[in-house]
Structure 1
Amino acid sequence: PPLPYPPPQARPKFSRELLNLRNIQEHLAKAKDYTEAHKMKLKADALEAWEIEKWRNQKQQEMFQQEAKFKHSKQQELIALQKRIQTGREEQKKRRQLDLERLLQRYQNVKSELEAQQNLERMRAAKQLQSGAFMNLQNRRTKKNVLS
């Protein structure tokens, strides 16, 4: 598959002016005008050195920009992950709180139900005791009446 961006250039694309100077240098050398060819070579070498330096600076600047962009995107990812973690923690805390409240409510309901049952049992027992004591009292009276 093709790369989403052009591959990095291994060497600079030289200017038309530099290529022209090299061409002139070559023609002068072929014409055996070595002094002028040497002058052209020095001029072309200086221009080439300047263009290479400019190209290197440009490449370095591009690298710095790519690095800054990469760092920024990773920072954004980190912030998003931290936010997701925090949201998850808060949701978990809310869920636990709701579970606790439900459990406490169930406890209160069971407790109230048991207390109500106990009160009913107590009232029945008290009623039975009362009616039993009343019966005992009546039984004693009837026994007394029978004996007397």
Structure 2
Amino acid sequence: MSQEKYSLNEYIEILQDHIQTCERENKFTEAEHAKKRLNDLLEQEERKKVKEAKLNHEAERSELEDGHLLEFQNFVNIWDKKIREQKQFSEQELFSLMNRHEREKSQLEDRLQSQIQVKPKPTAEILNLMNIKERLLKLKDYGEAQVVQKRINLLNKSEIENWEKERKRKMMQKLIQLEKRQGIEMSALKIRLKAFENDIIKKKSEELERLLQKYQNIKKDLENYQVQEINHMVMHK
């Protein structure tokens, strides 16, 4: 009996029918040969089914992995965009605050320049010497008037120098107060922005953990199902 013109399943059915015929006709030796041939074919068929199942399983695992890689890449793209947008927002906020601080400083400097006198008012001593000088000039006492004028010049120079130092000190004090307030404001903004960035990073990490866990669970379930399927095929051959 040639197998070539039959499919494997057809040939198995033919052998099964042939064994039954041999049993009825008491051709047991021929039946034994047919039985061995049938068992060989059944084992061949089982090996073929197991091989095909394993190939299918490999394809399923590959498809699962490809799907996971695609999902992971989408995850990376989405969260990279979120982090990039947050950093751009942070840079914009810091730049905006720096510009505002510069404007505040410039406005304060202009205000202080106009509010604090450039030259001090004459002191009582200088006013008294100026009166003495006027009286000396009326008396045509130019020599004494010159002496008094020199004294006035010295006092004016000293007063202007002291006033300028005090003026600079007052302006510097106001500017330092402004810079301190601005420094606190800048630090608070940086802390808030850093908290936003850390929150995004934390959410990304949590989402990644869920994504990986989901993949591991699906992969484990698939592998368990595939093992059970192979075991079932082997046990029921």
Residue type of the alignment partner of 2:92: L
1:74 is aligned to 2:68: yes
Q: Tell me the equivalent position of 2:163.
A: none
Query: Which residue of 79, 85, 99 corresponds with 1:85?
Result: 79
Aligned to 2:24: 30
Cα deviation 1:54-93 (Å, max 9, x = unaligned): 1111111111111111112212222222222222221111
1:58 aligns with 2:45: no
Does 2:76 align with 1:116? no
How much has 1:16 moved relative to structure 2? 2.2
Q: What secondary structure sits across from 1:75 in the alignment? A: helix
In 2, the alpha carbon distance for the partners of 1:49 and 1:126 equals 110
TM, length-normalised to structure 2: 0.46
| The one of 87, 92, 95 aligned to 1:101 | 95
Give the whole-Å Cα distance in 2 for the aligned partners of 1:95 and 1:109. Answer: 21
What's the offset of the Cα at 1:112? 1.4
Instruction: Return the structure number with greater relative CO, CA threshold 8 A, min gap 6.
Output: 2
Per-residue deviation, residues 122-145 of structure 1 (Å, max 9, x unmatched):
3xx348948x99xx69x948x95x
Residues in 2 aligned to 1:104 and 1:96: alpha-carbon distance in whole angstroms: 12
Alignment map for 1:39-54 (pairs within 5 Å):
39-54=33-48
* Count, aligned residues: 126
Q: Secondary structure at the match of 1:15?
A: helix
Distance 1:57 1:29 in 2: 34
The alpha-carbon deviation at position 102 of structure 1 amounts to: 0.6
Distance 1:20 1:129 in 2: 129
**What corresponds to 1:8 in structure 2?**
none
Unaligned runs of 5+ in 2: 1-7, 140-237
Rounded Cα–Cα distance in structure 2 between residues aligned with 1:22 and 1:98 = 83
Gaps of at least 5 residues in structure 1 are 1-13
1:10 corresponds in structure 2 to none
Match of 2:14 in 1: 20
Q: Which residue of 2 aligns with 1:5?
A: none
| In 2: Cα distance, 1:90 partner to 1:126 partner | 51
